[in-house]
């Protein structure tokens, strides 16, 4: 079974802090994704990566950056957290010629 893990389930940060969200997958998948989920808005793509050191902006990249130094790990960085970044963050991966994205359990971030 594919396993996607996220470093924290719940996180509380202060406005202006730098925040790191980590995602690790164990299936050697090429592609990885970061989404944020808000009530009534569904999932919106922040960034994705097709390979190590490669990244592409999604629909809402403002205020975020990403890092992919190793194939199995994809990090989302909030350079200076703001209250409007309070949300649920979901990581996903896909690869091996499959069509299905596999999701991690999510990180619920609260920015005070």
Q: Which residues bind another protein (CB under 8 A)?
A: 4, 9, 31, 33, 40-43, 45, 48, 50, 90, 92, 94-95, 98-106, 108
Which of 76/90 has CB closer to another protein? 90
Minimum Å distance from CB 61 to another protein? 14
Contacts of 66-74 with C-beta under 8 Å, sequence gap 24+, read 66/34, 68/32, 71/28, 71/29, 71/30, 72/24, 72/25, 72/26, 72/28, 73/22, 73/23, 73/24, 74/23, 74/25, 74/32, 74/33, 74/34, 74/49
Minimum Å distance from CB 16 to another protein? 27
């Amino acid at each position: 079974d594919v396993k996607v893990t996220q470093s924290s389930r719940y996180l509380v940060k202060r406005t202006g802090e730098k925040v790191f969200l980590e995602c690790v997958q164990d299936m050697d998948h090429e592609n990885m994704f970061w989404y944020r989920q808000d009530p009534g808005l569904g999932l919106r793509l922040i960034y994705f990566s097709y390979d190590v050191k490669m990244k592409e902006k999604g629909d809402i990249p403002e205020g975020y950056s990403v890092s992919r130094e190793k194939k199995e790990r994809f990090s989302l960085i909030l350079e200076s957290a703001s209250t409007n970044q309070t949300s649920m963050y979901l990581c996903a991966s896909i690869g091996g010629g499959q069509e299905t994205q596999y999701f991690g359990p999510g990180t619920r971030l609260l920015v005070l």
